[in-house]
Amino acid sequence: METFAEYILGEKEISAKLEITYYLAKKRNIFFDKSVVFKTEIARIFLNYLPLELDKNLILTACLLCNCKKIDVAQNLEDIKSYAKKGAEYLYSIGFDKRFCTICEEVNRYSNSNPREKESDILELVDQFGGMLLDRPERIGMEPDEALVLLEYRNLKDKYNRYMQSFIDFIKELQKLEYREKVEVTPLKALVNLYREAEDDKRFITGLVYENKKILAKENPNRPLFSEETTRKVMGHLE
């Protein structure tokens, strides 16, 4: 019988991966919310822009799962430092290989891994940048230009990330694009608006897949999301 890792990695359609992760979170109480979906969508658009031979399927799966043991409101620094390692250990227990788990653990720098996996550098960029665009209890979400400056000169200052310049160029190009929502907006602004308007992660996923086709290119618009069939499949691969 295939493992859960083989099951989700074998599913190439991003909307199906979102649904699978949603049910995994419900059944195993791992961390998964709108912010995870938001960052994964930034990664998806970036990978379509980046002219490199990378395993996009692996990276998007890692984006969905790398924060699985994150604590929503961390009580101390140790929780912040250890969640990625704990997440990697959990992912290994459900069938992911050591390299995939290492990629997920390296979403931040607390593991002190050197050299880093190249896929981890993409996870790091979208996790840091995406997080700055979103509202937090202590602050409102930043504008992309401000977030880029802080990403380069504060968060990752003196740290080598092989895709930093490519990511900066990508965001700048993305900011030049506009399409009509209620008014002319950039793709990032539309994505943030959709995030803010969605009441929960389920509604955000549905909106991203079905309502905002200019952000997400949907492969199969007739496929139902959040089906009981997926619940059974997820549980079957976890037993």
Q: In the prediction, which pLDDT does 50 show?
A: 82
Domains of the chain are 4-222 (1.10.3210)
Q: Is a pLDDT exceeding 90 seen at residue 228?
A: no
Give whole-number Cα distances, 74 to 24, 25, 30, 79, 81, in Å.
22, 18, 15, 6, 10
Q: In the prediction, which pLDDT does 152 show?
A: 97
Are 20 and 199 a contacting pair, CB within 8 Å?
no
The Cα 203–Cα 121 span in angstroms is 29
Q: In the prediction, which pLDDT does 217 show?
A: 45
Q: In the prediction, which pLDDT does 222 show?
A: 52
Share of the chain above pLDDT 90, in %: 64
Paired with 136 in beta bridges are: 139
Most confident of 53-57, 87-91, 221-225: 87-91
Q: In the prediction, which pLDDT does 218 show?
A: 44
pLDDT band at 183 (very low <50, low <70, confident <90, very high): low
The Cα 118–Cα 54 span in angstroms is 9
Joined tokens for residue 78: 């140790």
